[in-house]
Amino acid sequence: MKLAFGNNYTVDTNVLITLMTYHPQDKPAYQAIWDEIETLIKQKNIFSTIIVYDEIIKYLGKNDQLKKWAISHKKCFFISPDKKTWRLAQDIINKFPDLLNKKKLQTGEPDADPFLIALSLFHPIKKHGGSPKIL
């Protein structure tokens, strides 16, 4: 599949929640969408940070199907930040402290946004066509 704005995309929690809510994987009408997502994951064109995985697992919504999907895709879709990505995320947090979710700051939970940005700016998958875009 040729993607609209380049070849690589990092995916945020809200995209996955919305996708599973309005286009559930278990409905035959949406099977083609989920088949294409699987293809894009295998091609390493879409991915996310492990912190998005953690947000999905802790998500208080009714979407158990998304949690099951996340668990089954933990190793192939969710990337753990390496040292360089951690440092870059920390730099982003220092430069843009208002980016962080205040509620998560109070509870000590990590916020995925700076890690998604860092992953988009620096990730080895760039070889497939420039910097990833954030969804």
Q: Domain ranges in the chain?
A: 9-134
The candidate with the shortest Cα–Cα distance to 132, out of 24, 51, 43, is 43
Say which CATH architecture domain 9-134 belongs to. 3-Layer(aba) Sandwich (3.40)
Model pLDDT for residues 1-40, shown as the tens digit of each residue: 555 556 788 999 999 999 999 999 999 999 999 999 999 9
Q: Which residues contact 12 (CB under 8 A, 6 or more apart)?
A: 48, 52, 112, 113, 116, 134, 135
pTM over 0.85: no
Model pLDDT for residues 82-124, shown as the tens digit of each residue: 999 999 999 999 999 888 888 877 887 778 999 999 998 876 5
- d(CA 65, CA 26) in angstroms, rounded, equals 9
